[in-house]
Chains A and B, each alone.
Chain A
């Protein structure tokens, strides 16, 4: 009498295990970004690997910290800002990535880390209102040159990327950027401070400021600017000295389906899926081999920030440096703004 019941229980257990083993949960930022990821990455991956990809949304590193610390990890792959990845890695919140499964070829070294890997690029570029500015700044040095390029400016109210911009404007060569000469960078920002009308807080606000002519020049994100330009806003920008920043993928420590997560990440950063993502949202693929797949139409390629011709004009931000120094910089930044 007892035997069949035990057998049944075992069978059920085996079935459940089999089912969970074939499932991976990915947490991202929701909205149009996650919708694009879902179309270009999650659904194809589920199909190719024959698994289920469950989706969740997150609001930042704090969520992962909570799950890992409480030992109740629900997510297998998380999408975070590159700096958050760097911080999370330092706190030991992530599993080591298995690069025998993940092929990082075609991805910038700065975006390939033991515990995380980049997934998309966005770029902070010099932009201007075409109604109030005839010839826009073609470099950060121009952006800082208030004599030849008069007008109100706006920078983001964060030290990240702004310090890099300042150093480039001050004549530091891109290859010598890191580690950042912080004192020099802050001094350069102080120099421009009187001409900064607004320190912007949100992406939407940055576009509004440029579009309405509230400021004449602004350092803002390419994706948002491109969308506004497509919407006939009087804005233009250049990729010259654009600063590429990334979103990254990582596997929270103790993730239930670690091995499968590696396989999924390998798919997400593959040239094919990277190429497909550009069809759905105007972010750049981290993997430059995406352009070789033939999946991105010729005329669309030049608009993408990581298109080789664009990429060579830009500099990739070192997330690791910011993971290490970000908080200190943030406090110093606030003190500078307040003065």
Chain B
């Protein structure tokens, strides 16, 4: 009887106080996210907006000069296509090399997997510049690889491994591999081993079970990793600059060059804007094809 009345009176008892508590809690949560929002505004929204505005200024005049230039010279088209093709190629290589690594790590017992993962992460501790120069030392005409191959008599003439597309792709793939392996591993680790056993049990050969079950379930990690690698590749500067021998011109290099050539930030900004639009377009495309929200929500 007592309980009943308490229930009924509960509609008004402490109602305003509790509502106030609720509001205060919400304000606190909002307050906590404020620094992050401010950082995003200061570090992302404002610079990108500024970049966009600058791209329409050339030699102090407002206009499309920075964009018409891209149509005028064939270099820009090939720079954008080189950038995209190199990025795609590196992404595919990362998938080919990184998937088995992530798969293996996912199958290992946790202790061994942690050790394996450390091997994947350790290169992160070395600067990209150092790693890229290391590749130069390894790949160049009088480098370790060529010396060794000539030494054992496999080749007579040194292979051209550096100062070109080959070197660029080798270097970039090495730098990018962890970015594919880590998100993929996180996904693969969480795939229940019983799912593969279940498929096996129902009559699927190991290869078939991989195709029908493991691969689709690893997709979120694979797509996240691939997008990460691809987009990082689009803006890559150091490795193609050092290992490309001037032959591989990526957008980022042209941005730097244009600022130098035209003494004008706008000349670089326009390229940045176009690159950004390409990234958006790719995101949209992947979203339409694969449904990003579905992949990441799962």
> Which residues 211-261 of B sit at the A interface, judged by CB distance below 8 A?
241, 245-247, 249, 254, 257, 259-261
Q: Is the CB of B141 within 8 A of A213?
A: yes
The chain B residue with its CB closest to the CB of A66 is B263
Q: Is the CB of B141 within 8 A of A152?
A: yes
B48-87 vs A, Cβ < 8 Å mask (1 yes, 0 no): 0000000000011000000001001111001100100000
> Which residues 84-115 of B sit at the A interface, judged by CB distance below 8 A?
none
Residue B140 interfacial (CB < 8 Å):
yes
Q: State which size class the interface on A falls in.
A: 20 to 34
Residue A103 interfacial (CB < 8 Å):
no
Residue A69 interfacial (CB < 8 Å):
yes
Q: Chain A contacts of B284 at CB under 8 A? A: none
A284-310 vs B, Cβ < 8 Å mask (1 yes, 0 no): 000000000000000000000000000
**Whole-angstrom distance from the CB of A120 to the nearest CB of chain B?**
21
Q: Is the CB of B140 within 8 A of A212?
A: yes
Q: Which of B73, B260, B261, B263 has a CB less than 8 Å from the CB of A332?
A: B73
Q: Chain A contacts of B261 at CB under 8 A? A: 326-327, 330
Q: Count the B residues whose beta carbon is within 8 Å of the partner chain — how many?
A: 28
A205-236 vs B, Cβ < 8 Å mask (1 yes, 0 no): 00000001111000000000000000000000
Residue A15 interfacial (CB < 8 Å):
no
Q: Chain B contacts of A214 at CB under 8 A? A: 140-142, 163
Q: Is the CB of A338 within 8 A of B73?
A: no
Do A60 and B263 form a contact, CB below 8 Å, given A197-B141, A197-B160, A334-B75? yes
Q: Is the CB of A337 within 8 A of B247?
A: yes
A47-91 vs B, Cβ < 8 Å mask (1 yes, 0 no): 000000000000011100100010000000000000000010001
Q: Which of A61, A91, A337, A339 has a CB less than 8 Å from the CB of B246?
A: A337
> Which residues 162-207 of B sit at the A interface, judged by CB distance below 8 A?
163
Q: Is the CB of B78 within 8 A of A212?
A: no
**Whole-angstrom distance from the CB of B104 to the nearest CB of chain A?**
37
Q: Which of A62, A199, A212 has a CB less than 8 Å from the CB of B247?
A: A199
Query: Complex: how many Å from CA A335 to CA B60?
Result: 27
Q: Is the CB of A335 within 8 A of B75?
A: yes
Q: Chain B contacts of A338 at CB under 8 A? A: 74-75, 78-79, 82, 249
A302-332 vs B, Cβ < 8 Å mask (1 yes, 0 no): 0000000000000000000000001100111
Residue A200 interfacial (CB < 8 Å):
yes
**Whole-angstrom distance from the CB of B45 to the nearest CB of chain A?**
25
Query: Complex: how many Å from CA A75 to CA B79?
Result: 38
**Whole-angstrom distance from the CB of A157 to the nearest CB of chain B?**
4
The chain A residue with its CB closest to the CB of B59 is A91
Q: Chain A contacts of B246 at CB under 8 A? A: 157, 198-201, 337
Residue B262 interfacial (CB < 8 Å):
yes
Query: Complex: how many Å from CA A214 to CA B231?
Result: 32
Q: Which of A62, A212, A331 has a CB less than 8 Å from the CB of B263?
A: A62
Query: Complex: how many Å from CA A69 to CA B259?
Result: 17
Query: Complex: how many Å from CA A330 to CA B257?
Result: 10
Q: Chain B contacts of A200 at CB under 8 A? A: 246
Query: Complex: how many Å from CA A24 to CA B59?
Result: 29
Q: A331-B69, A334-B73 are in contact. List 8 more A-B contacts (CB 8 A).
A: A60-B263, A65-B263, A198-B246, A199-B247, A327-B262, A331-B72, A338-B82, A339-B78
